[in-house]
Structure 1
Amino acid sequence: MAKADTVRTRAPLKTRRPPVGASPGTLIADPAARRSELRLTLISPEKFKTIDNASIDDLNTHCDRWPVVWLDCTGLANIPLIEEIGRIFNLHPLALEDVVNAGQRPKVDFFEDHAFVAMRMIDDVTAHRYEQIAVFFGKNFVVTFQEREGDPFDPVRKRIAAAMPNRLRSRGADYLAYALIDAIVDSYFPPIEAASEQVDGIEDQMLNTPHKHQMRQLHELRRDANVLKGVLWPMRDALATLIRNDVPFVKAETKIFFNDTLDHSLRLIELVENQRDMLTGLIEMHLSLTQARTNDVISYLTIVSVIFMPLTFLVGVWGMNFEPESSPWNMPELKSYYGYPAALLFMLVVAVGLVAFFKWKKWL
């Protein structure tokens, strides 16, 4: 979810692919890709160092001197830079192709000396556009590629800067990769919980007075839940794959922490599934309430019509052109002294009698 767009204007998730017939591992930048910037974090148990706006020279100078290196590349426009990063860390070209062709399904691929994790990331909980985050990690390095600035990694950076004892500085690159992936997964909780609160609010409003705009809100929220489901299920599968595989650069104790992240993803899936079920029920309830309200209106209109039918009949009869002088059967009451108030009184009695009858029948 990006900073500039809201959930209602979210662009669909699309995978950009190289031209048909291109060689595997061909890197082609998206014309809309952001300018690439590097941030290098050098980590050891005793100290750490962060270099903003880092260069390839900084990588060549510092990488071999620190136990753990975290390189964060923001923006995917500079293809030569990405290729050079791949050369320095020996990243597989097919994985780099997936980095540039953003919109990949969340997955995990294992290579000889490193792993590649592709995920969808929320870089700002106040907005609702997804962004691909690619995480490479090996024995002593972590490399992250993100499409634009903004990410949920600030808590991880603060933990790296915290005083000793510091697990992030002492447990190695696989634990740092876990912390970053865990931050990505946990970033889904605030928007999902906010959506649940919004659903509860709409439900309370509907029970009082259903409105048309509520149906639109419910459909938009269900669409968002469907998108989340499409992201979270493959993310769960990727985390399970990361735990099951035995590779030398992922320690057994780190898998325990990855298993906790897998539990978080399962919890997110449960929340989204419950939210979808509730939204479906609310949509059906809104339709039922709207139909019931329409039926009530029709019932009241029908009752009013039934009350006025005999009155209209009486007025129509008395409004005919009778001649009481020619025959005693030609409406003699037209000559009655109190004929007009008597007619009104009779019509009132008819109306009141009908209302009483409807209440007796519990139609009102």
Structure 2
Amino acid sequence: MAKAETASLHVARSARRVPAGASPGTLIADPAAHRSELRLTLMSPDKVETIANASIDDLTVHCEKWPLIWLDCVGLANIALIEEIGRIFDLHPLALEDVVNTGQRPKVDFFEDHAFVVISMIDDVATNRYEQVSVFFGKKFVITFQEREGDPFDPVRKRIASTAPSRLRSRGADYLAYALIDAVVDSYFPAVDASSDIIDRVEDDMMRGPQKQQMQQLHQLRRRTGVLKGALWPLRDALATLIRSDAAYVKAETKIFLNDTLDHALRLIEQVETQRDMTTGLIEMHLSLSQARTNEVISLLTIVSAIFIPLTFLVGVWGMNFDPASSPWNMPELHSRYGYPAALVFMAAIAFGLISFFKWKKWL
């Protein structure tokens, strides 16, 4: 697993907080925040217009003329711009505070004329880089705030820009908000499937023989599934809250589609739970296989030692410095013509006998 991915897992768990004692709704930019840019999409059932690098003036000029708008703010460095957007659309200041203080738990808040949704999304599937996306929607508008460039919204943009009739342009802001949330949820599937492939590959490699690097891979996978679980469980609760809502700007027909997105989230949670159980089981299996391999090595070394113990004893006895000339009892074998080959044959017979005995006992 790449170092960039490991770093992204730590970033996903970090959260900035307003200094203690600050007034509620205080917006403080992160020094590392990306420069803010606006993309304004103006929609009606039969046409669409997109303004890249839009300004506040574009909002004031065009918003009242179109039945549905989508304002996408990428980068959270410009606090004055975010505050002005909040003023124009009458967004709650506490919600705007959660927008700039990234690392919030996925949730849904309902206000008088708009809803506020916070979710975590994967903006780079290759490295599993997470970021917070905040979604406001009311009767005629959808506003998204992203930390940086990169999102899973391109399929939604293509459907909006299509010349064919599109439900995204005709069903209202709540349906557009659903489509964006659904795109975020679906973006988790490639990451979850990639984790499954890695787990299967590691399992196959382990069956051929456990290696040291596999344990590191498994711990990284378990951490990765933990991050996914931390993002998906509260997302499930947020979707359920949206479905149960009685707000007038969340229509009943949109709740049917949101329920389908909830099903996707539940499926992802089940997969992640299964992966976490599998990684835990593989870690335990790796330890067991490593221990079994160590036991096999120790058993082999023990058997080898048992074979050489009597041979070492004989060599030690015959290696003592006694003079056979001083007494017939002092190493008489040294004067034997075939003493050396006889000793080797005798020791070989002992070794062969021990090996045969170990095989008979099924220790080898």
Contact conserved, 2:124 with 2:130, CA < 8 A, in 1? no
Could you tell me which residue of structure 2 aligns to residue 216 of structure 1?
216
After TM superposition, list the pairs within 5 Å mapping 1:17-166 onto structure 2.
17-166=17-166
SS at match of 1:33: coil
Distance across 2 between alignment mates of 1:324 and 1:56 = 113
Distance across 1 between alignment mates of 2:61 and 2:224 = 45
SS at match of 1:62: helix
SS at match of 1:204: helix
After TM superposition, list the pairs within 5 Å mapping 1:344-355 onto structure 2.
344-355=344-355
Q: Which amino acid aligns with 1:182?
A: D
RMSD over equivalenced CA pairs, Å: 1.2
With structure 2 as the length reference, what TM-score do the two structures score? 0.97
Q: What is the Cα deviation at residue 16 of structure 1?
A: 1.4
Q: What is the Cα deviation at residue 158 of structure 1?
A: 0.5
Q: Which runs of 5+ in 1 are unaligned?
A: none
Distance across 1 between alignment mates of 2:19 and 2:52 = 34
Could you tell me which residue of structure 1 aligns to residue 186 of structure 2?
186
Distance across 1 between alignment mates of 2:67 and 2:44 = 6
Could you tell me which residue of structure 2 aligns to residue 8 of structure 1?
6
Could you tell me which residue of structure 2 aligns to residue 243 of structure 1?
243
Distance across 2 between alignment mates of 1:60 and 1:26 = 25
- Report the count of equivalent residues: 361
Q: Which amino acid aligns with 1:106?
A: P
Task: Using the TM superposition, name which of 318-327 and 182-191 deviates more.
Answer: 318-327
Q: What is the Cα deviation at residue 321 of structure 1?
A: 2.1
Summarize the Cα distance change of 1:139–1:5 in structure 2 as closer, same or farther, 3 Å threshold. Answer: farther
After TM superposition, list the pairs within 5 Å mapping 1:293-304 onto structure 2.
293-304=293-304
Distance across 2 between alignment mates of 1:236 and 1:107 = 9
Contact conserved, 1:5 with 1:129, CA < 8 A, in 2? no
Distance across 2 between alignment mates of 1:14 and 1:222 = 18
Could you tell me which residue of structure 2 aligns to residue 329 of structure 1?
329
* 1:201 correspondence with 2:201: yes
Q: What is the Cα deviation at residue 332 of structure 1?
A: 2.0
Task: Using the TM superposition, name which of 89-98 and 320-329 deviates more.
Answer: 320-329
Could you tell me which residue of structure 2 aligns to residue 288 of structure 1?
288
Distance across 2 between alignment mates of 1:27 and 1:151 = 24
Q: What is the Cα deviation at residue 326 of structure 1?
A: 4.0
Distance across 1 between alignment mates of 2:331 and 2:16 = 89
Q: What is the Cα deviation at residue 5 of structure 1?
A: 7.3
Q: What is the Cα deviation at residue 19 of structure 1?
A: 1.7
Contact conserved, 2:114 with 2:139, CA < 8 A, in 1? yes
Contact conserved, 1:35 with 1:76, CA < 8 A, in 2? yes
Contact conserved, 1:5 with 1:128, CA < 8 A, in 2? no
Distance across 2 between alignment mates of 1:233 and 1:158 = 29
Q: Which amino acid aligns with 2:4?
A: T
Could you tell me which residue of structure 2 aligns to residue 169 of structure 1?
169
SS at match of 1:39: strand
Q: Residue by residue, what CA displacement relative to the aligned partner does 1:73-111 show, whole Å, maximum 9, x if unpaired?
A: 001111111111011111111100100111100000000
Task: Using the TM superposition, name which of 44-53 and 121-130 deviates more.
Answer: 121-130
With structure 1 as the length reference, what TM-score do the two structures score? 0.97
Could you tell me which residue of structure 1 aligns to residue 310 of structure 2?
310
Task: Using the TM superposition, name which of 311-320 and 159-168 deviates more.
Answer: 159-168
Distance across 1 between alignment mates of 2:3 and 2:173 = 34
